[in-house]
Amino acid sequence: MLKLSIIIPVYNGKKFLKTCFKNILSQTYPNIEVIFVDDASTDGGDKLIYNFAKNKDFVKVIKNEKNLGIFISRFKGLELATGDIIAFLDCDDYFDKNYYEILIENMLKTNADIVISDFVNSTEQNNITKKEDFILQGEKCFDFFCTFDSFREVYDSGCRRIIKKALYDECNSVFKLLLPRAQNIVGGEDTLYTMVLVSRAKCISFCFEAKYIYYRHPNQSICMDNKEKLFTQTLSRIRSMNLIKAYLQIEGLMDKYQYIYDTYLESLKHKLFLDSFKFGCVKEYMEFIKKYNM
């Protein structure tokens, strides 16, 4: 039986941890290991994690000495993973008890490198549109992600998929180059690592029977709760897109990706303007646009 490694970075997520623990223990797929990466939390959640891990051989805990961000934390967890399949989980999200069992059955059936589930905002669970499963193979894997609608659909969460560890191993040299440049990326991290993986994948399966429920925090948007985070997160997304651009130029794939790059930045610019207007910081917006040549 294939082993599944679930990697869970946590930063000040104490209020969600008990539900997260319950979610993990309820999973029907029996062969799992769970790796918590405490990213220097200050809310005392690390004590709950260590208590949960006590006397559980399938649970490992890493504690960062300083806050490194979700991208670096995920890959620190990946270094400890011993599973054949990798999954990431955010501690405030949740899914049905047979979520991983469904995805792994699909992976075995299709021999896919990546299996992607449905994705539902917690505020929209009663308004789910039925979708048909499908499979991508060969060059179609990367080509599919180079259409803007698909790009937005798939990169909304890096947690709604399982991925063969062998594919991560194949991409390991790329990730080692990216990691030092990805310090403190706080937006766009899912896009960054996923684009590398899909550029090397030979088969990707979409399994919409499995549904990942993304917890949408109240009043959540790119601007978060203040204008400082508005510009910080926008810059982080630009950095992420530029790292992808550099990688794909080396791989000779930038021609296919250029449309996504241009369209995404234009969309980001438009969203930034709307939020800047909301916060009354249009002047800062104009200075930001000029400084970063958007």
Consecutive 10-residue runs of the chain (294 residues): their mean pLDDT? 97 94 95 97 95 96 92 92 96 90 98 91 58 91 75 66 96 86 72 86 94 62 59 86 86 85 86 88 91 85
Residue 129 DSSP class: P
- Which of 214, 246, 272 terminates a domain? The answer is 214
Question: Both 144 and 91 in a single domain?
Answer: yes
pLDDT of residue 221: 39
Q: How far apart are CA 189 and CA 70, in angstroms?
A: 8
Whose structure tokens read 């979610």?
A: 23
116: in domain: yes
pLDDT of residue 108: 98
Question: Both 34 and 157 in a single domain?
Answer: yes
Q: How far apart are CA 196 and CA 142, in angstroms?
A: 10
* Cα dihedral sign, 282-284-285-287: positive
Question: Both 131 and 86 in a single domain?
Answer: yes
Question: Both 58 and 166 in a single domain?
Answer: yes
pTM as predicted: 0.87
Total domains present in the chain: 2
219: in domain: no
114: in domain: yes
Q: Measured in whole angstroms, how far is the alpha carbon of residue 152 from the centre of its chain? A: 13
CB 54 within 8 A of CB 27: no
Q: Which residues contact 211 (CB under 8 A, 6 or more apart)?
A: 95, 96, 99, 117, 118, 119, 120, 128
pLDDT of residue 195: 84
Residue 272 DSSP class: H
CATH number of the domain residue 199 falls in: 3.90.550.10
Q: How far apart are CA 62 and CA 73, in angstroms?
A: 9
Question: Both 141 and 40 in a single domain?
Answer: yes
Question: Both 133 and 279 in a single domain?
Answer: no
Instruction: Tell me the chain's radius of gyration from C-alpha atoms.
Output: 19
Question: Both 202 and 265 in a single domain?
Answer: no
Question: Both 102 and 123 in a single domain?
Answer: yes
220: in domain: no
Question: Both 143 and 253 in a single domain?
Answer: no
CB 202 within 8 A of CB 136: no
Question: Both 235 and 173 in a single domain?
Answer: no
- Which of 214, 241, 266 terminates a domain? The answer is 214
Which tokens belong to 242?
């530029």
Question: Both 278 and 184 in a single domain?
Answer: no
- Which of 181, 214, 247 terminates a domain? The answer is 214
221: in domain: no
111: in domain: yes
Its domain, for residue 246, covers 227-291
Question: Both 117 and 247 in a single domain?
Answer: no
138: in domain: yes
210: in domain: yes
